[in-house]
Amino acid sequence: MTLTLPITFSPDVQAAKDAGKAIVALESTIITHGMPYPQNVETARLVESDVRDNGAVPATIAVLKGKLHVGLRDEELESLGQAQNVAKLSRADLAVCIATGGTGATTVAATMIAAHLAGIHVFATGGIGGVHRGAEDTFDISADLLELAQTPVTVVAAGPKAILDIPKTMEVLETQGVPVIAYGQDALPAFWSRASQYKAPLRLDSAADIAKSAQMRTLMGLPGGQLIANPIPEADEIPVDVIMPFVETALQEAEDQSITAKQLTPFLLGRIFELTEGQSLTANIALVRNNARLAAQIACAF
């Protein structure tokens, strides 16, 4: 018996593929590990309609009972959003999960792999993983960065999450040859805040230029994707001086409780949600939706 990849497209995504319509990939770790229920499922639905309102078809990606799903039905989204102890899948775990009939949510890295397999060029998320603070001792560097270096998908995020070491994250991306492009401003956005204190290496002001740059990479035979750093809308941002004390507290608690590896990012996001009394979640929802709108425009420009 020959083994084939169990990949399944939702009816919407299959129809979009057949019609050559623009498609935007969406990840599922943000649903299972990034936000509490029921806001996670509500946000996933809103993000899907933002993609549709901007002329593209959304394809939320996850592994369900050993099948790689590209596009989830509403009931699948709902049950994933309520499920407990779902695996968080990155490049290292994806094949094992599929081979053993498991269920798991895809991170930025795993979603990029799935999007590329499905022929999807653009993907929207909240924030990418990166180099964690103290990485000089822990070596905790997200696989998202190395995925950006090798898989040709344009990822729209609101910059690296502010829980990370931003300068070290930028250094790794530069070493790996990943273009980090701020959209419409010079400053690098910092997830909950519109601007970090760092300047972005590159800036583009239109979806058309972003699509063209990706296509140029392909023509040049350059592997890897692009990271588009899209600032959170002004009305929804939490300024750096307001959010950073909460980030510091959460980081200290993680250290005190020896929380590391895959558990670290979900722990930090959860604690910051509690410390800000939900304000970080409201901002997170706004920024993902903003990224979905831009990603749809880029996908249409391809």
Nearest to 108, CA basis, from 81, 140, 135, 147: 147
Nearer to ligand PSU, 160 or 179 (CB): 160
Nearest to 81, CA basis, from 40, 49, 43: 40
Residue 67 is labelled as binding a ligand: no
Contact 51, 58 (CB under 8 A): yes
Residue 144 is labelled as binding a ligand: yes
Q: Report, as residue numbers or ranges, the catalytic residues.
A: 27, 161
Cβ-closest position to ligand PSU: 126
Nearer to ligand PSU, 144 or 237 (CB): 144
User: Least separation, in Å, of the C-beta of 148 and ligand PSU?
Assistant: 11
Contact 195, 163 (CB under 8 A): no
Spatial CB neighbours of 129, under 8 Å, sequence gap ≥ 6: 107, 108, 109, 142, 143, 144, 145, 161, 164, 265
Beta bridge partners of 160: 128
User: Least separation, in Å, of the C-beta of 20 and ligand PSU?
Assistant: 28
Tokens of 129: 């993983």
Nearer to ligand PSU, 185 or 263 (CB): 263
Nearer to ligand PSU, 17 or 194 (CB): 194
Residue 88 is labelled as binding a ligand: yes
Which spans of this chain sit near ligand PSU (rule: CB under 6 A)?
Answer: 27, 29-30, 33-34, 107-108, 125-127, 129, 142, 144, 262, 265, 269, 284, 288
Residue 143 is labelled as binding a ligand: yes
Tokens of 251: 């980081």
| DSSP codes of every residue in 72-123 | --HHHHHHHHH-SS-EEE-TTTHHHHHHTT--EEE-HHHHHHHHHHTT--EE
Binding residues for substrate: 88, 108, 142-144
Binding residues: 88, 108, 140, 142-144
